[in-house]
């Protein structure tokens, strides 16, 4: 009886809510945009398994470097001739140490030009700086891009997406990074920093 009454109330509540729901307007992204999203999602997935496999599955690509920083941030750098770009790809959570990084959510201030009052997630930022230091500022990516006239993008999923956001925020002001592709990104920064990133890379 109690179950039946609860069910009745739930049914009426659901019906009332359904009556007030307004269908969301939808738009279709251009094919070139969806192609880019899918391509970079494949790179983000490859970071968990076998980055080298990209060379056989993505025409004209070459993995230039794979890295694991002392703090446990994995990733790889891949040159993609068909799209004239070099991607810095960061792997997401795959270890206990990565989980500890995720939990280190203390706000950390950043000094991105024009980003007043901006703070970011301490753990993600620490992982980013560690990877940057370990790879000598991602020199392999920037040297290849400079030699070929290619652009550089930051890519990642989950923890890797958060680190990619740190990468873009840090390197975009100097003109080193053109685009960012993140999938399943955690809450990475405060509103001021998010607005700053969106206005430049959104």
Report pLDDT for 146. 96
Selection from 132, 152, 36 nearest residue 87 by Cα: 152
pLDDT greater than 60 at residue 50: yes
Environment class of 63 (CB within 10 Å of its CB; exposed 0-12, middle 13-18, buried 19+): middle
pLDDT in tens, 88-115: 999 999 888 888 988 999 999 999 999 9
Q: Are 121 and 188 in contact (CB under 8 A)?
A: yes
Q: Could you tell me which residue, 114 or 12, shows the higher pLDDT?
A: 114
pLDDT greater than 60 at residue 13: no
Query: Into which CATH architecture does domain 31-201 fall?
Result: 3-Layer(aba) Sandwich (3.40)
Q: Where are the domains of the chain?
A: 31-201
Q: Are 75 and 90 in contact (CB under 8 A)?
A: yes
CA 76 to chain centre: 14
Report pLDDT for 20. 66
Report pLDDT for 19. 56
Report pLDDT for 15. 47
Environment class of 134 (CB within 10 Å of its CB; exposed 0-12, middle 13-18, buried 19+): middle
pLDDT in tens, 143-161: 999 999 999 999 999 999 9
What is the average pLDDT across 179-202?
93
Q: Are β-strands 107-109 and 61-68 bridged in parallel, bridged antiparallel, or unpaired?
A: unpaired
The pLDDT-based confidence of 201 (bands split at 50, 70, 90) is confident
What is the spatial distance between Cα 19 and Cα 21, in angstroms, rounded to a whole number?
A: 6
Q: What is the DSSP letter of 189?
A: B
The pLDDT-based confidence of 1 (bands split at 50, 70, 90) is very low
Query: Which residues touch 75 (CB under 8 Å, ≥6 apart)?
Result: 47, 66, 67, 88, 89, 90, 91, 131, 156, 160, 163
* Range with the poorest average pLDDT among 4-8, 30-34, 106-110, 133-137: 4-8
Q: Could you tell me which residue, 29 or 39, shows the higher pLDDT?
A: 39
Selection from 190, 193, 72 nearest residue 131 by Cα: 72
pLDDT greater than 90 at residue 72: yes
């Amino acid at each position: 009886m109690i179950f039946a009454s609860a069910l009745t109330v739930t049914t009426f509540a659901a019906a009332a809510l359904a009556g007030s729901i307004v269908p969301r307007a939808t738009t279709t992204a251009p094919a070139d945009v969806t192609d880019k999203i899918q391509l970079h999602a494949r790179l983000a997935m490859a970071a968990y398994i076998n980055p080298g496999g990209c060379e056989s599955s993505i025409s004209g690509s070459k993995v230039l470097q794979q890295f694991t920083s002392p703090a446990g941030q994995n990733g790889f750098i891949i040159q993609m001739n068909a799209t004239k770009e070099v991607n810095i790809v960061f792997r997401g959570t795959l270890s206990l140490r990565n989980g500890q990084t995720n939990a280190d959510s203390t706000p950390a201030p950043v000094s991105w030009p024009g980003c007043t009052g901006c703070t970011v997630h301490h753990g993600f930022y620490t992982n980013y700086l560690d990877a940057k230091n370990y790879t000598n500022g991602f020199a392999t990516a920037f040297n290849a891009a400079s030699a070929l006239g290619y652009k550089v993008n930051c890519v990642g999923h989950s923890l890797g997406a958060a680190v990619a956001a740190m990468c873009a925020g840090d390197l975009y002001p100097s003109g080193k990074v053109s685009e960012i592709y993140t999938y399943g990104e955690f809450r990475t920064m405060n509103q001021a920093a998010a607005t700053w990133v969106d206005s430049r890379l959104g």
